Amino acid sequence: MVSCTEFIMAYNELFSYLEEHHGEKSVIEFWQGISDNFLQNLRQLVSQKGIQGMKEYWTHTLTEERAKYDMTATEEGFTIEMYECPSVGILRRNRHIQRYSKYCQHCDLLYKRIIEDYGFCYKIEYLDQEMGRCRVTVRKKRD
Amino acid sequence: MTTKIDIHKDFHGSFSYGLQFLCENYGQEEMEAYLTRLARTVYRPLIDSLKLRGLPALEEHLIYIFNIEEGKFEISYQNDVLVFQVGKCPAIHHMKEHDYPIAQKYCEHCRILNQEICKAAGYNSSTEYDQDKGSCTQKFWKEK
């Protein structure tokens, strides 16, 4: 069984495999599929609770993944300041793994696709992809 | 001794989705090719350890991951064969518990990974499973 502790490496390998054998378009289609089919819990939380739903979702996942981050949630917006992304940390520590060059991009596609359906703008800034530092900013869309 | 480690079990669902994506879009052969590659990249340290230390390396690996994932299993040696019997697969159990779709060929990944890891290290394996029940018997032995 591929354990949860090995999943990030397996995920990374799948991105590389898809791109090498079927092109970048295939990786994008896979990410879209994950977002549409497998993040129903995030979609439900955002549709029902808005920013509080985002806070709930990422507090749960980032705690389980032991990320080092700060999170702020107000009525107007939501931010995650990621200091040490747990996934990137796993790929850095396991030196026998060749990291997929666009690994971090999946966080843009997966979440933007959901959050922007509910009246928000989602932006991710990659501050240091090698070290796993990024900033996610969500704001309410203005009419 | 079992060490309690926090793990994000929803990863099982994402991995299962990846297998289904490969099968549906490119066919089962592509899923098998991906898993073969996975065995030889992600599991390279296990292959090296199996070559160096033999079946105890595999035994320790299985005990470690099934303990942290809280699976139910029995592991023993029958003559020179390592026998790993899984009564409750933690991945299948978690996906069923949360009503996540399970890839039609999900359990094949264990068979293929075991086979490729063993092949690369000079060993052999058999994996018989019942995906609906989330149980299986995996056997490992040195190639003569």
Binary contact (B69, A1; C-beta < 8 A): yes
Closest CA to B108 of B11, B32, B33: B32
Starting at the edge strand found earlier in the chain, the sheet holding A77-84 runs A68-73, A77-84, A133-140, A120-128
Residues 75-104 of B with CB under 8 A from A: 89-91, 100-101
B98 Cα to chain A: minimum distance (Å)? 11
Encoded amino acid at A115, one letter? I
Residue B6: which region, alpha, beta or left (left: phi > 0; alpha: psi -120 to 50)? Answer: beta
Exposure on the CB side of residue A82, measured as CA atoms within 13 A: 29
Task: Give the pLDDT confidence of A108-119 residue by residue, as tens digits.
Answer: 999 999 999 999
Residue B27 clears pLDDT 60, i.e. is over it: yes
What is the interface pTM, i.e. ipTM, of the complex? 0.92
CATH 3.10.20.520 assigned to domain B11-142? The reply is: no
B118 vs A65, more confident: B118
B10-24 pLDDT per residue, tens: 889 999 999 999 999
Q: What's the average model confidence in pLDDT over A10-29? A: 97
Is there a contact between A6 and B42 if contact means CB atoms under 8 Å apart? yes
**For the packed helices B28-41 and A7-22, what is the interaxial angle rounded to 10 degrees?**
130
A119 close to A100: Cβ distance less than 8 angstroms: no
Q: How confident is the model at residue A59 (pLDDT cuts 50, 70, 90)?
A: very high
For the stretch A75-87, pLDDT in tens is: 889 999 999 999 9
> Quick check: A70 pLDDT over 50?
yes
- pLDDT at residue A143, rounded to an integer: 67
**Chain A residues touching B44 at Cβ < 8 A:** 96
Q: What are the residue boundaries of the structural domains of chain B, listed by start? A: 11-142
Q: What is the pLDDT of residue A65?
A: 82
First-to-final CA distance of chain A: 49
Q: What percent of chain A has pLDDT over 90?
A: 86
Question: Helix (H, G, I), strand (E, B), or coil: what is residue A87?
Answer: helix
Q: Which of B39, B65, B66 is nearest to B123 (CA)?
A: B39
Residue B143 pLDDT > 80, yes or no?
yes
* Helices marked H in B1-144: 11-26, 28-41, 44-53, 55-68, 90-97, 108-121
Exposure letters A9-33 (e unless 16+ CB within 10 A, then b): bbbbbbbbbbbeebeeebbbebbeb
- Outline where DSSP puts E strands in A44-97: 68-73, 77-84
When the pLDDT of each residue in chain A is averaged and rounded to a whole number, the result is 94
Alpha-carbon span A97 to A13, nearest angstrom = 8
C-alpha distances (whole Å) from B144 to each of B56, B117, B124 are 18, 16, 9
Tell me the percentage of chain B whose pLDDT exceeds 90: 88
**Banded pLDDT at B57 (limits 50, 70, 90):** very high
Mean pLDDT across the stretch A94-108? 95
Which helix H or strand E contains B135, and what residues bound it? strand B135-142
Contact between residue A77 and residue A101 where contact means Cβ atoms under 8 Å apart: no
Q: What is the pLDDT of residues B78-124, one digit of tens each?
A: 999 999 999 999 999 999 999 899 999 999 999 999 999 999 999 99
The pLDDT of residue B126 is above 90: yes
- Model confidence at B2: pLDDT above 50: no
Residue B5: the pLDDT is 63
Among B43, B57, B24, residue whose Cα is nearest residue A3: B43
- In this prediction, residue B81 carries a pLDDT of 98
Question: A-chain residues within 8 Å CB-CB of B106?
Answer: none
Q: What is the pLDDT of residue A37?
A: 87
CA distance B115 to A104: 32
Contact B17 A34 (CB under 8 A): yes
pLDDT at position B1: 44
Of the candidates A33, A7, A88, A10, which has an alpha carbon nearest to the alpha carbon of residue B9?
A7
The domains found in chain A, sorted by start residue, are 7-140 (3.30.1380.20)
A20 CA: distance to closest CA in chain B (Å): 11
Between CA A37 and CA B17 the distance in angstroms is 8
